[in-house]
């Protein structure tokens, strides 16, 4: 059966379209509509399967109760887990989340922002990439709440929630050095985003502070969209360098590729060779021995993001932008 329109419901109930609209939007009592009419219209709505058009409603009220979430890659466990937390927290507060991935493509990111604008979303949560500054500035000029997370665009003044990536990376390398490691490699990605740069800088600073020389040959920069088979071959070459006694992986998906490479060549994690991942993953706990990792407090990050968004949405005056840094923890396993 075809769902009725608001006009069909009004005809069936023998009331005006305005009356039906008041009932749908929770204003029946305010407009002194009788209980009998309310009950009659509500029953017709239930029987007909009527669903109010969200875009039409947003045009009337100015609010869609939808928040747009734009991330690098929703299939990445870090982004999927934090997206789920944000979605749950937003839903409990009366908001729905729509999300998509940029794949670190500037044009796709720009298209997604424009798509979300056409959907009249109330606010934006974005893990940004360089090249979308103009689109973000337009959103800010339109008084739309924007919150960056995981990474920032320093050229823009906007709300930001992130972890202390520099210090976390530094701690990981310091932990290796205190275990007696001296030839410590970094496996990272080639994308030019703030949090990846900070992890690289933390790695270099720790080596320098402990009087260990920085060796470019021990830094492996993997192209972002490279096929995993090729990545694994590069990692195997790195692991076969017998001088390497420890590796920090700057992302969790690279650490997973690293575990696959180690398995292929039968190289063990022991007192002679250690690794640390970035952002936790089930595989790190299940692996024997357990994989140490830098763990970002996803629950706290998600809660902070939602509180900032809701504060922005509920305030009649423009609130000052906030930069909130939350401490990541080094989790040592086995």
Domains of the chain, CATH where assigned:
6-52 (1.10.260.40), 63-163+299-327 (3.40.50.2300), 166-295 (3.40.50.2300)
- pTM: predicted TM-score of the whole model, two decimal places: 0.76
Q: What is the pLDDT of residue 289?
A: 83
| Maximum distance among all Cα pairs of the chain, rounded to whole angstroms | 85
Q: What is the pLDDT of residue 59?
A: 44
Q: Are 279 and 77 in contact (CB under 8 A)?
A: yes
Q: Are 328 and 295 in contact (CB under 8 A)?
A: yes
Q: What is the pLDDT of residue 57?
A: 52
Q: What is the pLDDT of residue 50?
A: 67
Which residues does the chain have with pLDDT short of 50?
55, 58-59, 61
Q: Are 149 and 305 in contact (CB under 8 A)?
A: yes
Q: What is the pLDDT of residue 314?
A: 85
Angle between helices 17-24 and 35-48 (to 10 degrees): 80
């Amino acid at each position: 059966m075809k769902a009725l329109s608001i006009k069909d419901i009004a005809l069936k109930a023998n009331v005006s379209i305005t009356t039906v609209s008041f009932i749908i939007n929770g204003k029946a009592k305010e407009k002194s509509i009788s209980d009998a009419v309310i009950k009659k219209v509500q029953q017709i709505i239930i029987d007909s399967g009527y669903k109010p058009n969200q875009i039409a409603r947003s045009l009337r009220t100015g609010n869609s109760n939808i928040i747009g979430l734009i991330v690098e890659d929703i299939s990445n466990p870090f982004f999927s887990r934090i997206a789920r937390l944000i979605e749950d927290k937003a839903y409990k507060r009366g908001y729905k989340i729509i999300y998509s991935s940029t794949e670190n493509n500037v044009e796709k990111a720009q298209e997604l922002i424009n798509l979300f604008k056409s959907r009249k979303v109330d606010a934006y949560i974005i893990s940004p990439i360089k090249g979308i500054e103009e689109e973000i500035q337009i959103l800010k000029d339109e008084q739309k709440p924007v919150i960056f997370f995981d990474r920032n665009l320093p050229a823009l003044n906007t709300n930001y929630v992130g972890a202390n990536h520099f210090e976390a990376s530094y701690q990981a390398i310091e932990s290796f050095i205190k275990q007696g490691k001296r030839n410590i490699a970094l496996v990272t990605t080639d994308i030019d985003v703030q949090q990846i740069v900070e992890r690289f800088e933390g790695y270099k600073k720790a080596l320098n502070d402990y009087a260990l020389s920085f060796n470019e040959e021990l830094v492996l920069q993997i192209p972002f969209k490279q096929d995993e088979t090729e990545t694994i071959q590069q990692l195997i070459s790195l692991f076969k360098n017998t001088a390497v006694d420890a590796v920090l992986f700057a992302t969790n998906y690279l650490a997973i590729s690293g575990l696959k490479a180690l398995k292929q060549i039968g190289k063990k994690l022991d007192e002679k060779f250690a690794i640390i991942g970035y952002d936790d993953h089930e595989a790190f706990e299940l692996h024997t021995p357990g994989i140490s990792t830098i763990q970002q407090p996803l629950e706290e990050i998600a809660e902070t993001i939602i509180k900032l968004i809701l504060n922005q949405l509920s305030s009649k005056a423009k609130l000052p932008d906030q930069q909130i840094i939350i401490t990541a923890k080094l989790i040592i396993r086995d």
